[in-house]
Structure 1
Amino acid sequence: MTTDLTTSAQWIPAFAGMTKRGAYAALLIGLLSSCAVGPDYVRPTTDIPASFKEQAGWKVAAPNDAAPRGAWWQDFNDPTLDNLQDRLLQTNQSLRVAEANYRQATALTDQAQSQLFPTVGASFDATRSGTANSAPTGAPSNSTARTSYRANATANWDIDLWGRIRRSIEAQDESALASAADLANARLSLQAQLASAYVQLRFQDEFQRLLDTTVEAYARSLQITQNQYNVGLVARSDVDQAETQLAQTQAQAIANQRSRAQLEHAIAVLVGTAPADFTLKPTTMTLRMPPIPMALPSTLLERRPDVASAERRVASANAEIGVAIAAWFPDLSLSGSYGVSGSPISKLFRASNVAWSAGASVAETIFDAGARSARIDQARAAYDGTVAQYRLTVLGALAQVEDQLVALDTLKRQGEAQAIALRAARSAEQSIIDQYRAGRVAYTSVVQAQAQALQAEQSSITVRQNQLLAAVVLIQALGGGWDGTSAGAVVQPAAKTDASARK
């Protein structure tokens, strides 16, 4: 049970004009109302390793976790991507949904806080009434009429003796913080989606340039082979193979155009624009691999907004246990009214017309067939569920980082091996073409060598694309950028650690 003397002291000016005994009684009520039954919250413990398994070779970062998230996408060195990220923050509809949910959560917190204060009402009535007296036949009727007035003010105050209202406020406040973390997580997720889609689109442009260049080369080869066939230097099968190779590459180029268009449509939706009104023209590749210093596993508890959201929901569920426990204690409420009634209105506020009342009531449930016990059990079970979800979220965050660390490491080595394969494929292609022109090999060998060279080119582009995509996901997994700002857009309140989450 905790007592907030600071809050109680704020009520002291209201005691002016009271008797000394009344002031002491009111102060006692204020102190009691700041007591709260139920467990005080401490953060659940989690098993966090000292370092990532795949961390070898990475530099440990020292982020400022209380600052806003940095513009991490700027490290990819693409002005168009920077512009798109700015548009996303302004016009993305999913982000607006998350922002609206956050405003709803803060409004619920305000509603809960209002229960700490008295409810005051006022009313004013005017009533016209009269009587009609009987009169002899032919005589005018004799009637009287009177207007009466009534003004009344009422006040009701539910005294929070056992902290039911305060625990409710605590639960709603923690839920609002969770919604703020959800908003930050939605923002980070959408930014990562946009960056990934943009990376893929630019590499589709790279594929398209490669395929278009290859189609031109294959078209020239077909024309040369056709000319050689026309003069009887090669067989018809050489022409067929050259034509097949050209048509297949043209089909790949057309399929690549479809993939690029779909990525462009996805980016349009992310920035809140109809696809018909959005175009990204092909341009020279400027994307580069960003520097990614490593963070320690423990920093994920502060940096990642999804972890912050899960942890705040644990705190909210913990407060709900106190709300359920408070149902076992009696409710105390104070009420009062002050009013005047009379006629005419000019004499309404005379002392003789005043009526007032004041009272207190205490209510306690005697028998409910176990309903309150069941609600406490429900609250404790809900708390246990949020603890498990929090720990699961932490484990998922650790696994996501490990996945992308190993992905970047293997992709780097894969890229080095692929560069060797590409050089060898190009050399083999040129050697086979020279041998074909010298008449030492069949055209089938040329087709195979060119296909292998094209595949090696495509694989090399794919590896570079996957490296950038893995960098985007790793940055998201670590919670954001490192330009002197934090990934975590949610500032969490201080919480005790390494202790049981329930008393």
Structure 2
Amino acid sequence: WFMAITAKLQHRFAQEIVGLQKKNLQITRARQQIGQGSERDVHLAKGSLASAQNAARSALSAYENSLRSLELLLGRYPSADLKTADKLVAVPPPIPAGIPSEILERRPDLIAAEREVARAFYKEKEANLLHLPRFTFSIGVGINSLNDAIAGLAAGLFAPLYTGGAIEAEVQKATAEQNAAIASYAQKALQAFKEVETSLAAEEHLAKREEYLGIEEKENKIAYQQTKKQYEIGQIPLLDVLTVQQKWIGAKIAKLDITDKRLINRVRLHLALGGSFEQPSMTAKSTAAR
């Protein structure tokens, strides 16, 4: 959905650039007619217009392809006529600090892995046999807390996972099948931690990049407007205008792309957490396990 809207906005912007290049060509021809412009500038303007038209056509193709992919996902015929929003939604509020690690225990893959351990230990009727290491996730903290919490786990010692659970006393005499079930749970837990940490780190980096690109877009747009005025009164050649214009276009497209990536990353974070930032009740987890 986000990718389709982004493609739509990119196509719209590409069409705006075509309009700008047409105006540039008109101005260039008018200046040539009164002896203030050159034939070279006219050719540059024509080439830039053709380049913009090509980019607009490419953007339209990308937009239509994204619509077909979305329609296919929705079980509809891929006709590329799905209506989408005209702008991306605002990036959600900041991620709260101190997300408890146990919130991941509601993830379907961890619940399924826990049930496999339960079956291996013949405790299918007991819920919450395993517990993840207790620590908190926070943006900017890094992975040190995670490393400290699961150092034993990474070395192949699974005690942090089931301490406090119902099978702690039986692990010392576990069979190969039971150890395999515990190892599978541990591996899935590590993967879950990695997904959360990756999304949190990406949120921090993408937010800063979006900020920098916003500044770049703003400043380059001002520079383009000033450069265009200078060209219109004959102070600079058309090539200078096109160079600054390209920088502005590049910054605007890059900022749109980063906003899209931030929204997609937030979705991935919620998938990694298994839901919202709120910690589920044990009753809810037990119900999900059943």
User: Taking structure 2 as the reference length, what is the TM-score of the superposition?
Assistant: 0.73
Letter in 2 for 1:299: I
Q: Is the CA contact 2:36–2:234 (under 8 Å) kept in the aligned structure 1?
A: no
Distance in structure 2 (CA, Å) of the matches to 1:224 and 1:419: 29
Q: CA RMSD in A?
A: 2.6
| RCO comparison, higher one (Cα < 8 Å, 6+) | 1
Shift of 1:244: 1.9
- Residue 239, structure 1, aligned to residue 42, structure 2: yes
- State the partner residue of 1:492: 289
SS at match of 1:275: coil
SS at match of 1:245: helix
SS at match of 2:288: coil
- State the partner residue of 1:151: none
Q: Could you report, residue by residue, the CA deviation over 1:278-337 in whole angstroms, capped at 9, with x for unpaired residues?
A: 63235422612223446311221x2211111122222233449xxxxxxxxxxxxxxxxx
SS at match of 1:408: helix
SS at match of 1:422: helix
Shift of 1:386: 2.8
Shift of 1:231: 4.0
- State the partner residue of 2:82: 280
Distance in structure 1 (CA, Å) of the matches to 2:96 and 2:13: 33
- State the partner residue of 1:477: 272
- Residue 420, structure 1, aligned to residue 215, structure 2: yes
- State the partner residue of 2:71: 268
Letter in 1 for 2:252: E
- State the partner residue of 1:303: 106
Mapping of 1:133-148 within 5 angstroms? none
Mapping of 1:245-264 within 5 angstroms? 245-264=48-67
Mapping of 1:15-30 within 5 angstroms? none
| Equivalent in 455, 474, 479 of residue 250 of structure 2 | 455
Q: Which has the higher helix share?
A: 2
In structure 2, relative to structure 1, the CA distance for the partners of 1:420 and 1:259 (3 Å cut) is same
* Unaligned stretches of 5+ residues in structure 1: 1-197, 321-378, 494-503
In structure 2, relative to structure 1, the CA distance for the partners of 1:397 and 1:434 (3 Å cut) is same
- Residue 381, structure 1, aligned to residue 176, structure 2: yes
Shift of 1:466: 1.3
How many residue pairs end up in the alignment? 236
Distance in structure 2 (CA, Å) of the matches to 1:489 and 1:419: 46
In structure 2, relative to structure 1, the CA distance for the partners of 1:429 and 1:286 (3 Å cut) is closer
| Equivalent in 227, 244, 249 of residue 30 of structure 2 | 227
Q: Could you report, residue by residue, the CA deviation over 1:4-48 in whole angstroms, capped at 9, with x for unpaired residues?
A: xxxxxxxxxxxxxxxxxxxxxxxxxxxxxxxxxxxxxxxxxxxxx
Give runs of ≥4 in structure 1 deviating > 4 Å.
482-490
SS at match of 2:75: coil
Letter in 2 for 1:435: Q
In structure 2, relative to structure 1, the CA distance for the partners of 1:405 and 1:454 (3 Å cut) is same
* Unaligned stretches of 5+ residues in structure 2: 124-173
Q: Which structure is larger by alpha-carbon Rg, 1 or 2?
A: 1
- State the partner residue of 1:218: 21
User: Taking structure 1 as the reference length, what is the TM-score of the superposition?
Assistant: 0.44
Q: Is the CA contact 1:203–1:461 (under 8 Å) kept in the aligned structure 2?
A: yes
| Equivalent in 289, 299, 303 of residue 91 of structure 2 | 289
SS at match of 2:86: coil
- Residue 397, structure 1, aligned to residue 160, structure 2: no
Letter in 1 for 2:103: T
Q: Which has the higher strand share?
A: 1
Q: Could you report, residue by residue, the CA deviation over 1:456-488 in whole angstroms, capped at 9, with x for unpaired residues?
A: 111121121111111111111111135897896
